[in-house]
Amino acid sequence: MSTPAKTDLFPLPFEVAAPALALSLGDYITDAKEQTALGNEFIFGCNGAVMCLRPEGRELVVVGFTGRHRLASVAPHIVQTAERVGCTSIRVHTQRRGELRFLNMLGLPFHLVEWRPDSNEYVLRMVLHGR
């Protein structure tokens, strides 16, 4: 997955981003390292944030995101990247209960598609342009 020309996302080596992503990825960090090495997941930086993204068919999955007070400035770049690589939706996995409300306040029409109480994980999805 290459980055589109008009986005502020830039690729980062896993080793550089791992300390920042450790909290958001939790136990998945070992798998993320492997998936990144295999070319299935990609690590990017943007405006002081670090994220792990995975394309799944026509959906872009935000596997992990770390950036204190950075989501508002980075979210549009993630949306733009998803659109430019041909995705029709974005899926977010988070343990932050208020993230759905915050994304909606930013004008991003995410909705809750699943709650996993055993892991306190919320799965959110946004359809891009009604596709």
Can you name the residues that pair with 112 across neighbouring β-strands?
Answer: 124
At 57, the amino acid letter reads: G
User: What are the tens digits of pLDDT across the range 107-127?
Assistant: 999 999 999 999 889 999 999
- Global pTM? 0.89
User: What are the tens digits of pLDDT across the range 3-30?
Assistant: 444 678 999 999 999 999 998 999 999 9
Domains of the chain, each with CATH number or no CATH: 10-127 (3.40.630.30)
Pairing of strands 42-46, 49-56: antiparallel
User: What are the tens digits of pLDDT across the range 63-74?
Assistant: 999 999 999 999
Residue 90: in which H helix or E strand, if any? strand 89-94
Q: How many CA atoms lie within 13 A of 50 on its CB side?
A: 16
